[in-house]
Structure 1
Amino acid sequence: LSHIGMRQERIVDIDSNRPFTGQFYDTFNRKHDYLRISLTERCNLRCFYCMPSEGIELSPDGKLLTNDEVFRLAKLFVKSGITKIRLTGGEPTVRKGIMELMGKFNELKQHGLKALAMTTNGIALHRRLPAFVENGLTHLNLSLDTLDPFKFEIITRRRGHDAVLKSLDTALSLPMDSIKLNVVVIRGLNDSEVLEFVKLTQDKPISVRFIEFMPFTGNKWDKKKMVPSSELLERIRMEYPTIQRASDELNDTARSWYIPGFAGSFGFISSMSDHFCGTCNRLRLTADGQIKVCLFDPKEISLRDVMRAGACDEDLLRVIHQAVLGKKAKHAGMEDIDVVTNRPMILIGG
């Protein structure tokens, strides 16, 4: 029990030495300035690593945050030091009123918001993307795990490969600060396509990010299917021996590389084999109003319930602050994460 007492003393000590400014520091002095907001639990794909094969039980509409509630919390977070917001899901583009909500988020740039990002599967995006950019979208992450239309249907249990590629082309024609492709790599399924994805960066100014297969409830994670980033890097190095390390942005989860003469870059999100917890600056807000301070920690606190009980902004801030203080130094190892009961990825927010 001594370690618990020491941790409590540490929290008290930090609380007494740092006046509460609304900025979110944990007990390891990590400042949190990045908020990921899940706008919906619904999705128009059924990717097996995200959604259990038996499906999920959606929250009743009354338990989901309304647009006004989402904006109230977003504004509070931004005024308290959040400089980047990423909209996720489910699939964020299926959220009713997303265009108007994005326009309101754009107004937060006068309060310190610097980046408004979205992670999407791109299925229903290309026609709406110009309007999203007009309403303040600055960064786009497209989920695309394969360049093979047949494999796409195996992974997503739906059609739509062409639509995603069309969304990528549309994004490249628009004034955006960043366009990234998220590729979840699974041994025996799409790991043979890594070099093809790298080749995309020859002519396209995009960043391809290879993501290690992560365990979540219902996704049948198997360590044997997880390809360590170090293995992928060696495969790429054998084909492109001139690859060079790129300078990563502060708090970036990806370790980035580039090939001289190529327009884009590629990187690795090695959550399983080489975690990046030491520089984590992220908080998550689920579609049903729970704050999660770590993707792999099942613990969550309902801001929705606090808000609907009549809490003022200062009360909400203190609840958020206490949640952040409970953040651990790092997540458990991959075997331990595999046995922890957590939400399916689709209910957390990608």
Structure 2
Amino acid sequence: MTATAEMAAGTTHPAEPRLADGFGRRFRYLRLSITEVCNFRCAYCLPDGYRKTSGGFLELDEIARLASGFAALGVTKVRLSGGEPTVRQDLPGIIATVAETAGVQKVALTTNGWRLDRNVRGWRDAGLTHLNVSLDSLDPAVFARITGHDLLPQILDGLDTALGLGFGAVKVNAVLLRETAYAAFDQFADWLRDRSASVRFIELMRTLDNVDYFEDQHIRASVLERWLTARGWTPVPRRPDDGPALEYRHPDYAGRFGIIAPYAANFCDGCNRLRVTARGKLRLCLFGEGGIDLRDLLAADVDPLWLEQRILDALPTKARGHNLMLAQSGDLRRMADVGG
């Protein structure tokens, strides 16, 4: 029985989360990158495209052991990310493996949408429960300029298909950019009027490779907050395993807006997620340094308790927050390296 079926039958009993840091934050949410490869050339992340590096990414059996180890420690939600996770041919198998992991109740995917219209039904059948699609503009010319691809119609078709498949949530992620912000607000508001999706604008974050672009395009998320408030949108209470977005609703719209504001005061106080890279390193903070290698403990002949203990031992070293406000991005060169 999959995690989704167990939930429906009322048979799951999530483990009390043993993952806690020195600041009292508890972690039920794992963001797992399964590849660094991306086929888009987004201006804020990979403007020159992906360049192959040495070393392989986690294999299916390693992902299974990793998911099991985190679930044993109380993780109930796993998000698959990249790079672009749909470039992996074994993605349906990865989704199914994670969905069948005891204790995992939600399996999410973040994708740029390039295979969405063709494959979203198969992902749903494999056990995917939540879907996020990165989509920075509903203007075809702007979309093509930002991503390097003219695929907007196909992605929108895929989103409409996804909205009819009974996902727990379908969300759109848009990076907040100075040149497109207000036009994008208006366009997405029209799109949300009769679609039960959530469009979350993410404040552009500085990385080691995008400094010039950041300086040119960064604006604070408060511009969207003011735009929403002036038009009668109101905040929605957060749930324990929600991501970092503050969502807004309006009685005249089927969908919601969301704001992810990493430069806001106290943003990190509610952190509830851990990250593992496609090469098996535990990242306690997106904008931290290095990582804790877990891959040597993912072999079939290794006692799974060793993996759990290494994860537990790492948690006390998690910092209270990032230093983005000080223009410090840790060692993060680009989002595709870690999974965002």
Q: Compute the TM-score of the two structures, normalised by the length of structure 2.
A: 0.89
Match for residue 27 of structure 2?
A: 32
Q: Distance in 1 between matches of 2:259 and 2:17?
A: 33
Match for residue 153 of structure 1?
A: 144
Cα 1:321–1:213 shift into 2, 3 Å = same
Cα offsets for 1:157-185 (capped at 9, x unmatched)? 12211121111111011111101110101
Equivalences for 1:189-204 in 2 at 5 Å?
A: 189-204=180-195
Structure 2 counterpart SS, 1:211: strand
Equivalences for 1:271-286 in 2 at 5 Å?
A: 271-286=262-277
Give yes or no for the alignment of 1:332 onto 2:332: no
C-alpha contact (below 8 Å) 1:26/1:326 kept by paired residues: yes
Q: Distance in 1 between matches of 2:316 and 2:274?
A: 12
Cα offsets for 1:263-295 (capped at 9, x unmatched)? 111110001234521111111111111110111
- Deviation, 1:201, is 1.7
Match for residue 153 of structure 2?
A: 162
Give yes or no for the alignment of 1:178 onto 2:169: yes
Q: Which runs of 5+ in 1 are unaligned?
A: 1-20
Match for residue 8 of structure 2?
A: none
Cα 1:199–1:237 shift into 2, 3 Å = farther
Q: Distance in 1 between matches of 2:260 and 2:215?
A: 16
C-alpha contact (below 8 Å) 2:17/2:27 kept by paired residues: no
Aligned AA for 1:321?
Answer: L
Structure 1 counterpart SS, 2:166: coil
Cα offsets for 1:297-339 (capped at 9, x unmatched)? 123011113445964212111211122211011111433324x
Cα offsets for 1:16-53 (capped at 9, x unmatched)? xxxxx982111112111100111111112111212253
Aligned AA for 2:289?
Answer: P
Match for residue 71 of structure 1?
A: 64
Q: 1:226 aligns with which of 218, 231, 240?
A: 218
C-alpha contact (below 8 Å) 1:41/1:58 kept by paired residues: no
Q: Distance in 1 between matches of 2:128 and 2:320?
A: 32
Greater displacement, 140-149 / 301-310: 301-310
Q: CA RMSD in A?
A: 2.0
Q: 1:288 aligns with which of 279, 284, 287?
A: 279
Larger Rg: 1 or 2? 1
- Identity percentage of aligned residues: 37
C-alpha contact (below 8 Å) 1:288/1:304 kept by paired residues: yes
C-alpha contact (below 8 Å) 1:212/1:228 kept by paired residues: yes
- Deviation, 1:192, is 2.7
Q: 1:102 aligns with which of 87, 95, 101?
A: 95
Equivalences for 1:241-280 in 2 at 5 Å?
A: 242-250=232-240, 251-280=242-271
Cα 1:235–1:37 shift into 2, 3 Å = same
- Deviation, 1:115, is 0.5
Q: Distance in 2 between matches of 1:274 and 1:47?
A: 28
Q: Distance in 1 between matches of 2:17 and 2:160?
A: 40
C-alpha contact (below 8 Å) 1:298/1:343 kept by paired residues: no
Q: Distance in 1 between matches of 2:47 and 2:107?
A: 29
Give yes or no for the alignment of 1:48 onto 2:43: yes
Q: Compute the TM-score of the two structures, normalised by the length of structure 1.
A: 0.87
- Deviation, 1:341, is 2.9
Structure 2 counterpart SS, 1:116: strand
Structure 2 counterpart SS, 1:127: helix
Cα 1:243–1:189 shift into 2, 3 Å = closer
Match for residue 8 of structure 1?
A: none
Greater displacement, 191-200 / 73-82: 191-200
Q: Which runs of 5+ in 2 are unaligned?
A: 1-15
Aligned AA for 1:214?
Answer: M
C-alpha contact (below 8 Å) 2:32/2:278 kept by paired residues: yes
Q: 1:132 aligns with which of 123, 148, 151?
A: 123
